[in-house]
Amino acid sequence: MNAVNVAPCILVVFGGTGDLTHRKLIPALYNLEHQNLLSSRFAVVAVGRRDKTDEEYRNEAYNSVKKYSRFEINDDIWNNLCKRLFYKKLDFLNIEGYAGLNAFLSVIDNEFQTEGNRVYYLATRPENFEIIIENLHISKMAVNTQKPWQRIVIEKPFGNNLASARQLNKKISEVFSERNIYRIDHYLGKEMVQSIMGVRFFNTLFEPLWSNKYIDNIQISSCETIGIENRGEYYEKTGALGDMVQNHMLQMLALLAMEPPEDFNAEAIRDEKVKALSSVKEVTPCSAESVVLGQYLEGEVEGRKVPGYRQERKVSPESETETFAALKTELDNPRWKGVPFYIRTGKRLAAKTTDIVIQLKPSANISSSVYSGTQEPNLLVIKIQPKEELFIQFNTKKPGIQWKVCPVKMTYCQKCKVCEAEANSPEAYEKLIIDVINGDSTLFTRWDEVEKSWAFIEKIKVLKEKGKCRLSYYKPGTWGPEESDRLLERDGRHWWNL
Residues that bind ligand BG6 (CB under 6 A): 156, 224, 243, 354
Cβ of residue 424: shortest distance to ligand BG6, in angstroms?
Answer: 17
Q: How far apart are CA 61 and CA 78, in angstroms?
A: 10
Q: Which of 257, 248, 264 is nearest to 280 (CA)?
A: 257
Contacts of 436 (CB under 8 A, 6+ apart): 119, 151, 153, 182, 444
Which regions of 398-488 does DSSP assign to beta strands (E)?
405-413, 471-474
| 180-219 CB burial, b ≥16 within 10 A, e <16 | bbbbbbbbbbbbbbbbbbebbeeeeeeeebbebeebbbbb
> What's the min distance (Å) between Cβ of 427 and ligand BG6?
9
Which residue lies nearer to ligand BG6 by CB, 41 or 431? 431
137 as an active site residue: the answer is: no
First to last CA, the chain: 32
Q: ∠ CA 132-142-24 to the nearest 5 degrees?
A: 55
Rounded to the nearest whole angstrom, what is the least distance from the CB of residue 156 to ligand BG6 in the complex?
5
Q: Which is nearer to ligand BG6, 142 or 460 (CB)?
A: 460
- Residues 6 or more apart whose Cβ sits within 8 Å of residue 25: 13, 121, 123, 429, 433
CB closer to ligand BG6, 109 vs 427: 427
Close Cβ partners of 343 (under 8 Å, ≥ 6 residues apart)? 219, 220, 221, 245, 249, 250, 253, 325, 326, 327, 328, 329
Minimum separation from the CB atom of position 354 to ligand BG6 (A): 6
Report strand pairing: 291-296 vs 9-14.
unpaired
- The nearer residue to ligand BG6, 169 or 238, going by C-beta atoms, is 238
User: Cβ closer to ligand BG6: 224 or 451?
Assistant: 224
The residue length of the chain stands at 498
Residue 114 vs 354, nearer CB to ligand BG6: 354
Among 22, 34, 137, 248, the active-site one is 248
**Which of 56, 127 has the CB closer to ligand BG6?**
127
Are 172 and 181 spatial neighbours (Cβ–Cβ below 8 Å)?
A: yes
Q: Are 349 and 478 in contact (CB under 8 A)?
A: yes
Whether 16 and 48 have beta carbons less than 8 Å apart is answered as yes
- Minimum CB separation from ligand BG6 for residue 243, in Å? 5
At 178, is the secondary structure helix, strand, or coil? helix
Helix, strand and coil content of the chain, in percent to the nearest 5, comes to: 40, 20, 40
Active-site residue set: 248
